[in-house]
């Protein structure tokens, strides 16, 4: 079992990473080489701006290359609850922003010719308990009436036509969405940005951002210094560097994934005939999908802790037990990959984007980042060029999490609370 991301291990090499030191001048310095930063670099460079992307490690090696591989519409929290929190119009706007984000991913794949095994098969949210289905039915009625008619409620009597398991009691199908190979998409998006003229630097951790006397910024990195007219921070839950203001507003929650060995094609066709992206309704939920090479990817909040190798292995064992409980025919399947990553959670699970102290930022995707990060890279290119109204999250306040100084000491407490609540939910 490799303690490494399947997406990163099976991705093609990035051929356009810049060699030599970081130096010179640039119109926009993009800090973070995940989907947000790469998408912004592609958009800005295509419009003639000089763009330099600085990543602390491998391009696409953070959350963008360590997630579940789903590209889904629908907000990160329950739509009915979001209506209660924000009101119908604002909640509808949030839902439509995620739908637009799926469109953005599909457009970039098409326009840039990115080979990432994209499959537009939709997302199926599975009721883990009988009364969960009742809630899904009410949510489906609200969504269909107010924002998205292209959904389907699948009752308990039909759910085995979708997933061969006795553990589910119906589901909510949102057809607008899909899945892809995250490593291939990251490399393809990076190469697209490079073709437009962006410079991409790996292993260039930023240690300082200093405003100079000419209205620009001096960026200090592990590979040299750079002068930039504007700075866009797209780091997600970075635990290092001069990003304390963002760290105090994000809870970096670990999410863990295992991937099986290649499985029998006939067995997979019986168990998952429509190859959806799947997620369950538990608070400590699971998500899963079939990979392009016939493996089952299975993930979730196995433990509320940061991702590091001993923790990843322990979380992998928990996930394997959960996989077998849901799908007994896979009890003998070997686990080939196990890894973890950090989800940049905000308190209300809605993204944040805009400016802080003159520096642009976008992050806080709260577990729905694949599509929204890509979309917000394109959006923030518009914002940087002066179109602030393009930002769907521009009016959201972002106070610091009380008692949070950057290290998420509270995660084990939250995890215990969720496990207890799951028993009764």
pLDDT of residue 412: 63
- Residue 155, SS3 per DSSP: coil
What is residue 416's predicted lDDT score, i.e. its pLDDT? 58
Long-range contacts, stretch 149-152, CB < 8 angstroms, 24+ apart = 150/174, 150/175, 150/176, 151/175
pLDDT in the model for residue 306: 54
User: Number of H helices and number of E strands within the chain?
Assistant: 11, 18
Q: List the domain boundaries for the chain.
A: 6-415
- Taking alpha carbons only, the member of 381, 418, 389, 412 closest to residue 38 is 381
Of the chain, the percentage scoring pLDDT greater than 70 comes to: 93
Q: What is the pLDDT of residue 253?
A: 83
The residue behind tokens 């291939």 is: 184
Mean pLDDT per 10-residue run, the chain (425 residues)? 95 97 98 98 98 98 95 83 94 95 98 98 96 95 95 97 98 96 98 98 98 92 98 88 94 90 97 97 90 97 55 83 97 96 90 97 93 98 97 96 77 57 58
CATH class of the region 6-415: alpha beta
Q: What confidence score (pLDDT) does residue 237 get?
A: 72
Nearest to 50 by CA among 24, 20, 32, 16: 24
């Amino acid at each position: 079992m490799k303690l490494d991301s399947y997406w990163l291990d099976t991705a093609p090499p990035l051929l356009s990473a810049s060699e030599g030191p970081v130096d010179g001048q640039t119109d926009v310095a993009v800090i973070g080489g995940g989907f947000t930063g790469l998408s912004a670099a592609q958009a800005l460079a295509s419009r003639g701006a000089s763009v330099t992307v600085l990543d602390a490690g491998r391009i696409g090696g953070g959350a963008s290359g360590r997630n579940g591989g789903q590209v889904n519409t629908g907000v990160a929290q329950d739509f009915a609850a979001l209506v209660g929190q924000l009101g119908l119009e604002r909640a509808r706007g949030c839902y439509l922003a995620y739908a637009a984000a799926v469109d953005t991913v599909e457009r970039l794949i098409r326009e840039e010719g990115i080979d990432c095994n994209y499959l537009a098969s939709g997302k199926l949210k599975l009721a883990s308990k009988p009364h969960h289905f009742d809630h899904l039915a009410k949510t489906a009625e609200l969504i269909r009436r107010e924002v998205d008619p292209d959904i389907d409620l699948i009752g308990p009597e039909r759910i085995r036509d979708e997933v061969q398991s006795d553990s589910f009691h119906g589901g909510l199908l949102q057809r607008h969405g899909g899945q892809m190979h995250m490593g291939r998409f990251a490399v393809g998006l990076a190469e697209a940005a490079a073709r437009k003229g962006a410079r991409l630097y790996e292993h260039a951790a930023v240690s300082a951002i200093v405003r100079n006397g000419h209205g620009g910024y001096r960026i200090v990195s592990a590979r040299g210094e750079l002068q930039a007219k504007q700075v866009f921070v797209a780091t997600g839950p970075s635990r290092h560097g001069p990003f304390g203001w963002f760290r105090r507003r994000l809870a970096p929650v670990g999410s863990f994934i295992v991937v099986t060995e290649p499985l029998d094609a006939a067995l997979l066709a019986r168990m998952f005939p429509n190859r959806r992206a799947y997620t369950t309704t538990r608070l400590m939920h699971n998500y899963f999908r079939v990979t392009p090479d016939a493996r089952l990817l299975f993930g979730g909040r196995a433990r509320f802790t940061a991702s590091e190798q001993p923790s990843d292995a322990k979380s992998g064992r928990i996930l394997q037990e959960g996989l077998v409980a849901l799908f007994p025919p896979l009890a003998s399947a070997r686990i080939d990959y196990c890894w973890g990553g950090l989800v940049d959670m905000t308190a209300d699970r809605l993204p944040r984007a805009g400016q802080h102290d003159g520096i642009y930022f976008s992050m806080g995707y709260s577990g729905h980042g694949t599509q929204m990060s890509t979309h917000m890279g394109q959006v923030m290119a518009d914002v940087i060029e002066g179109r602030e109204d393009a930002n769907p999250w521009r009016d959201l306040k972002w106070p610091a999490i009380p008692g949070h100084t950057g290290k998420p000491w509270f995660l084990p407490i939250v995890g215990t609370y969720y496990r207890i609540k799951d028993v009764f939910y």
